[in-house]
Structure 1
Amino acid sequence: MAANFSNSGSAKIFSKDLLPPIYGVEMCVALVGNLLALGLIVTKERKNWHTGVVFTCNLVISDILYALTLPLLVDYYARERNWIFGEAACKLERFLFTCNLYASIYFIMCISVNRYLGIVHPFFARNYVQTKHAKIISLLVWIVVAGLASPILYYSGCLVPFLATFASYFAVIWVVFKNENITSLEKKKVALM
């Protein structure tokens, strides 16, 4: 079946005719949505930069930078996988694309762990988790992501962030459903979150 797919020219049609518009739409939606989100964060949360806002702002910035790499991919696929921007631009684009992809994953993980701490350990979170910690963690995420992306797609995968995010959400739901002081309606709200 795979041989028929590639021999029939369907793969070429997909990469030349479908990928450029898909990436183009993705870029437009991502830029508009994330620029609006960044504007809201900067204007509405100007004086209230708690840990969740710091991680969310970094996620938005990462998504904007990711979207800015997409025009080069649109051109690449529109030219039937012909890269015209030179080897340095190719490596830089792959590095930035990978960095921002991983940064998004890691900041979603940070948001998940932050929510876990806020819901399951609210007193610990209130007393020990501070905005400066989120800023330091965000800087470390960017450094780690740049380090991971530096071999340019040599390694791929997102198992660790996925497991941390899954474990955080599972732990929140587990603690909430075990708590006898929370009504069933409140438990359903947390489960839907």
Structure 2
Amino acid sequence: MPLQPDGPVWGALLGACKIHKNVELAELAFNKVVELEPTNIGYYVLQSNIYSEAGDLEGVARVRVMMRERGLKKDPGYSYVEYKGENHLFVAGDKRHPQSKEIYGTLKRLENLAKQGGEGENSGVHSERLAIAFALLNMSSTKEILVIKNLRICGDCHRFVKAVSKFVDCRFIIRDATLFHHFDGGSCSCKDYW
């Protein structure tokens, strides 16, 4: 490069390493980016996710220790969907909603559909899944559901929504921290590149 790379440049390389599953280069990019932006929690989370996907639990633990030592905390993930002019907000594992029992029942049925779609077991009750279950429960005639998420959608949830979209006559749009994902007929507009 004709100039010295800054934090966003190293961060972009770190993101590319996640997409291409290059753990070794990710470690180099991570070390550089945290030198330049030591309090940017997103880079720590990204590196932790890279280690997690590679099955390197020691790497995940090292990143978490770094975060704890530096006093960094990840913002909790949440998703919301608008229904009758009101936003219904969900966090992972949330059971505070008045329709919680029905939402979890709908989510169980969606998980069974995802299994039929070849997605197998899905881990965690993430916020976007709860928002989708709520929307399907309450907006049965709707052909398009928009869910807003404050963080990036995880790979597991991305695969889950793709699988569900094969069986449900509805288009799912999830606006995460970086882009809009349009799920329809078992595929996503990002072509799994996000």
Pick the TM interval, shorter chain.
under 0.3
Q: Higher relative contact order at CA 8 Å, sep ≥6: structure 1 or structure 2?
A: 1
Higher strand proportion: 2
Which has the larger helix fraction?
1
Structure 1 length-normalised TM = 0.25
Name which one, 1 or 2, has greater alpha-carbon Rg. Answer: 1
